[in-house]
């Protein structure tokens, strides 16, 4: 039992490490090679975990080999377009100039219901509004709406544009974020007075605080325990 | 903080169970081994009546421990000891000293394997 617990912890650490170094994309975003590696990694980890007769190294060595192979394949795929096409396939146009490409749908075995579902997920409830739809190599669909249905943006309104910045997170769950303070351009004393102005005596009372621009702060106080 | 406390408590419970399991198995293995050693000594002195009594005691004690062992270790390891103890009893009754002594060693080895498999030696982990 103790051996099983120790082995499980060791394999957990190794698998987390392996998944971390091979990339952190979600299942739906994995390329075919990454999906194969993920499936094989999980299978390999389970064997020495449940069968104590199997040496731990019988699972660990193949895991490391897979990680190395994945590194090698991704490095080669990055360099060679041809190999990338062979291993990952090509993006497949499903709707072209507003017309559904039925041949390509048959090729990737995509039903009309599935196409409608994908379009709904992307915010388009009517196939008629879509000009282009492409099934990407990672299995996700991307679309371009017809000009008439595109949402208004500043560019096509010729409106004045301002530079937009990602807000700096100054406090997260009661903890002051040093990087956020630096980004917001304030020190701890200034932060203290800002918090006091907003009815908080310390950072511990703040659940979330961001700074978008100078003197523009967004503060969410912690809910009091009942 | 509460988010950490619950998994920490569960982890401590698992570790406690593992430690108790380790203690229970090693302790019982030593006790059962001692019974086998006294059965072996009795047989060496030609006292097969005493040896039979010790083997019967071993069977009785192992059947109590075995119920728990079936839940925590591989069944074939427990079965091996049960078969071996049955053979021991038959050999006892047949007064075959050499065969009895060699079967005792086999049974002791099976018990030792069960105990050693539970101890987290580096060899076991790897």
DSSP structure string for B98-126: HHHHHHHHHHHHHHHHHHHHHS--HHHH-
End-to-end CA distance of chain A: 42
pLDDT band at A28 (very low <50, low <70, confident <90, very high): low
Reference A6, options B78, B123, B80; nearest CA is B123
Mean pLDDT computed over A30-46: 81
> Which pLDDT score is estimated for A144?
92
pLDDT band at A225 (very low <50, low <70, confident <90, very high): low
Contact: A1, B72; criterion CB under 8 Å: yes
Q: CA-CA distance, A223 to A221, in Å (whole number)?
A: 6
Please give the domain boundaries of chain A with CATH numbers for all domains.
Answer: 2-85 (no CATH), 92-149 (3.30.240.20), 168-221 (3.30.240.20)
Would the pLDDT of A80 be above 70? Answer: yes
By CB neighbour count within 10 A (0-12 exposed, 13-18 middle, 19+ buried), where does A170 fall? buried
DSSP structure string for B14-60: HHHHHHHHHHHHHHHHHHHHHHHHHHHHHHHTT-HHHHHHHHHHHHH
Q: CA-CA distance, A148 to A130, in Å (whole number)?
A: 10
Between B23 and A139, name the one with better pLDDT.
Answer: B23
Q: CA-CA distance, B115 to A188, in Å (whole number)?
A: 60
**What 3-state class would DSSP assign to B95?**
coil
Contact: A56, B125; criterion CB under 8 Å: yes
Note the pLDDT tens digit of each residue in A85-99: 888 788 899 999 999
Please give the domain boundaries of chain B with CATH numbers for all domains.
Answer: 25-125 (1.20.120.660)
Interface test with A, best of B11, B15, B124 (most A CBs within 10 A): B124
Residues pairing with A220 in the sheet = A208
CB contacts under 8 A, B 43-72 vs A, are 72
DSSP summary character for residue A92: E
Q: How many residues does chain A have?
A: 226
> Which pLDDT score is estimated for A163?
66
How close B47 comes to chain A (CA, Å)? 39
Asked if B90 reaches chain A (Cβ–Cβ under 8 Å), the answer is no
What is the dihedral sign for C-alpha A11, A13, A18, A23?
positive
Note the pLDDT tens digit of each residue in A138-164: 788 999 999 888 888 777 777 777 666
Chain A with chain B: Cβ pairs closer than 8 A: 32
Q: CA-CA distance, A141 to A98, in Å (whole number)?
A: 15
pLDDT band at A209 (very low <50, low <70, confident <90, very high): very high
Which range is least confidently modeled, A41-45, A50-54, A64-68, B105-109? A50-54
> Which pLDDT score is estimated for B124?
79
Reference B54, options B31, B77, B76, B70; nearest CA is B31
Would the pLDDT of A120 be above 90? Answer: yes
Residues of B in contact with A3 (CB under 8 A): 117-118, 120, 124-125
Q: Report ipTM for this prediction.
A: 0.71
> Which pLDDT score is estimated for B85?
86
List b or e across B77-108, with b for residues whose CB sees 16 or more CB atoms inside 10 angstroms.
ebebbeebbebbbebbeeeeeeebeebbeebb
pLDDT band at A122 (very low <50, low <70, confident <90, very high): very high
The rounded Cα B86 to chain-centroid distance in angstroms is 15
Asked if B21 reaches chain A (Cβ–Cβ under 8 Å), the answer is yes
Reference A87, options A49, A32, A46; nearest CA is A32
Q: CA-CA distance, B66 to B24, in Å (whole number)?
A: 12
Closest-approach residue (CA) in chain B for A8: B125
Would the pLDDT of B1 be above 70? Answer: no
Contact: A2, B74; criterion CB under 8 Å: no
DSSP summary character for residue B3: H
pLDDT band at A29 (very low <50, low <70, confident <90, very high): low
Q: Are A40 and A66 in contact (CB under 8 A)?
A: yes
CA dist B13 → A1, A88, B3, B16, B26 (Å):
13, 46, 16, 5, 20
Closest-approach residue (CA) in chain A for B71: A1
pLDDT band at B86 (very low <50, low <70, confident <90, very high): confident
């Amino acid at each position: 039992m103790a051996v099983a617990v120790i082995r499980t912890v060791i394999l957990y650490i190794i698998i987390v490490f392996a998944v971390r170094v091979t990339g952190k994309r979600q299942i739906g975003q994995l390329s075919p090679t990454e999906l194969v590696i993920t499936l094989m990694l999980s299978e390999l980890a389970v064997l020495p975990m449940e069968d104590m007769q199997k040496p731990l190294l019988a699972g660990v060595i193949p895991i490391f080999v897979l990680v190395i192979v994945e590194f090698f394949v991704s490095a080669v795929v990055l360099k060679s377009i041809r190999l990338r096409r062979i291993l990952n396939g090509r993006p497949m146009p499903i709707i072209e100039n507003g017309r559904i490409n039925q041949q390509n749908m048959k090729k990737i075995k995509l039903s009309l219901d599935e196409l409608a579902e994908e379009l709904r997920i992307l915010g388009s409830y009517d196939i008629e509004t879509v000009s282009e739809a492409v099934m990407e190599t990672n299995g996700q669909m991307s679309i371009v709406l017809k000009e008439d249905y595109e949402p208004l943006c500043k560019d096509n309104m010729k409106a004045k544009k301002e530079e937009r910045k990602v807000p700096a997170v100054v406090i997260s769950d009661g903890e002051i974020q040093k990087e956020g303070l630096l980004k917001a351009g304030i020190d701890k004393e200034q932060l203290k007075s800002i918090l006091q102005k907003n009815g908080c005596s310390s950072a511990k009372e703040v659940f979330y605080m961001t700074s978008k621009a100078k003197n523009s702060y967004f503060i969410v106080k912690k809910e009091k325990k009942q | 903080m509460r988010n950490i406390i619950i998994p920490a408590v569960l982890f401590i419970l698992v570790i406690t169970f593992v430690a108790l399991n380790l203690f229970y198995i090693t302790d019982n293995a030593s006790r059962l081994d001692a019974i086998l050693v006294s059965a072996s000594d009795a047989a060496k002195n030609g006292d097969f009546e005493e040896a039979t009594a010790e083997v019967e005691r071993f069977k009785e004690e192992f059947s109590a421990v075995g119920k728990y062992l079936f839940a925590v270790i591989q069944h074939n390891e427990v079965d091996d000891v049960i078969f071996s103890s049955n053979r021991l009893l038959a050999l006892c009754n047949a007064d075959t000293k050499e065969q009895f002594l060699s079967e005792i060693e086999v049974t002791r080895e099976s018990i030792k394997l069960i105990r050693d498999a539970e101890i987290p030696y580096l060899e076991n982990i790897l």
